[in-house]
Amino acid sequence: MIERIELSAVAEEVAAGERLDQVAARLFPDYSRSRLQAWIRDGALTVDGALLRPREKVAAGATLRISAELEDAVGWQGQPIALDIVHEDDSILVLNKPAGLVVHPAAGHHDGTLVNALINHHGAMSQLPRGGIVHRLDKDTSGIMVAAKTLQAHAHLVEQLQARTVGREYDAVCVGAMTGGATVDAPMGRHPRQRKKMAVVAQGGKNAVTHYRVAQRFAHHTHITVRLETGRTHQIRVHLSHRHYPLIGDPVYGGRPRIPAGASQSLVDALRRFPRQALHARKLRLVHPREMREMTFECPLPDDMQELLAVLATEDPVDGLVG
């Protein structure tokens, strides 16, 4: 079940100089500290309209506002949805998520999600925070994910993510011919006018760092590998669009398909018909929460991205520039 939460409260005089998560816990006692911290990190809990980190200080008289969806894991039901399991043991489950599968139930997607599939596979996950999920992939992003099967594993994986010791690498195909790799270090927050979107913001954003390097060049496009240092919502999509290299197939941050002048019909068709953002989570590195040893998992590129790269190699080659 999904409940929409809209709350606000004013920080009292005694709150001056206190951490945001401490003030929020006192002003909104019906919610746990961990839930409030998650809302702060997700941008659902703001201070005078600005996004802050849990440890940042709050001024007396500041207005704290919560606008969030409260997900009740107890109400989630298992559904027989196929899972491509890469690894499973008593503590964790690693899987290859297909494009088009929503991770969590939310407005517009009350069932048919990855969480419903996981609960069907292992019923005890219904009792874990967020159904055992510790990190997300967008609906139309494919690739490797890990979920916890026990509370101990869930807590340990969350700690690793917060400490930024989990290694995450992606493959992406961008519009534009890059000359080399780079690092994007640009804070992110909610788009100032389109609240369903994220954006690079000048003030009040959260630290966000993305590293990328060129894997394959084409005349008007680039295949890159991406390594995340932080894990903000839509981070890769936003950062690459900010650098004017949006992902192929991303209408939210890239707009309509960009067709090079003089492109062949095969290239036109490939660009216009690619059904999603060209982004795949290829590699995940973590410390196993019970065995305490480092493990690495990989998922090969899905067929749709392999086919896209094949078309670009023949129809958009660097040594055969069109236009």
198 and 297 share one domain: yes
101 and 226 share one domain: no
174 and 148 share one domain: no
91 and 222 share one domain: no
206 and 120 share one domain: no
- Residue where one domain finishes, among candidates 50, 71, 92: 71
Q: Give the Cα separation of 114 and 105 in Å (integer).
A: 8
pLDDT, tens digit (0-9, with 9 covering 90-100), for 29-87? 767 777 788 899 888 899 999 999 999 999 999 999 999 876 555 568 899 999 999 99
Q: Give the Cα separation of 118 and 147 in Å (integer).
A: 9
- The CATH number for 50's domain is 3.10.290.10
211 and 137 share one domain: no
Residues with a known catalytic role: 138
In this predicted structure, the answer to whether residue 321 has a pLDDT above a threshold of 80 is no
In this predicted structure, the answer to whether residue 94 has a pLDDT above a threshold of 50 is yes
In this predicted structure, the answer to whether residue 322 has a pLDDT above a threshold of 60 is no
Q: Report how many domains make up the chain.
A: 3
Q: Give the Cα separation of 279 and 161 in Å (integer).
A: 21
pLDDT, tens digit (0-9, with 9 covering 90-100), for 292-318? 999 999 999 999 999 999 999 999 998
In this predicted structure, the answer to whether residue 288 has a pLDDT above a threshold of 60 is yes
- Residue where one domain finishes, among candidates 145, 162, 179: 162
In this predicted structure, the answer to whether residue 1 has a pLDDT above a threshold of 50 is no
pLDDT, tens digit (0-9, with 9 covering 90-100), for 224-271? 999 999 989 999 999 999 999 999 999 999 999 999 999 999 999 999
pLDDT, tens digit (0-9, with 9 covering 90-100), for 144-188? 999 999 988 998 998 898 889 999 999 999 999 999 999 999 999
Q: Give the Cα separation of 71 and 222 in Å (integer).
A: 39
In this predicted structure, the answer to whether residue 323 has a pLDDT above a threshold of 50 is no
Could you list the residue range(s) of the whole structural domain that residue 33 is in? 2-71
Q: Where are the beta strands (DSSP E) in the chain?
A: 2-10, 18-19, 45-47, 57-58, 63-71, 85-88, 92-97, 142-148, 167-175, 182-185, 188-190, 198-200, 209-217, 221-228, 279-287, 294-298
245 and 298 share one domain: yes
- Residue 305 confidence (pLDDT): 98
Between 193 and 150, the more confident residue is: 150
- The CATH number for 270's domain is 3.30.2350.10
198 and 79 share one domain: no
133 and 187 share one domain: no
Question: Average pLDDT of 136-141?
Answer: 95
181 and 305 share one domain: yes
Backbone angles phi, psi at 262, to 5 degrees: 80, 10
219 and 266 share one domain: yes
- Residue where one domain finishes, among candidates 162, 181, 200: 162
Cβ atoms of 154 and 140 closer than 8 Å = no
- Residue 284 confidence (pLDDT): 98
87 and 138 share one domain: yes
In this predicted structure, the answer to whether residue 123 has a pLDDT above a threshold of 90 is yes
Q: Give the Cα separation of 222 and 313 in Å (integer).
A: 10
What's the CA angle centered on 44, arms 42 and 285, to 5 degrees?
10
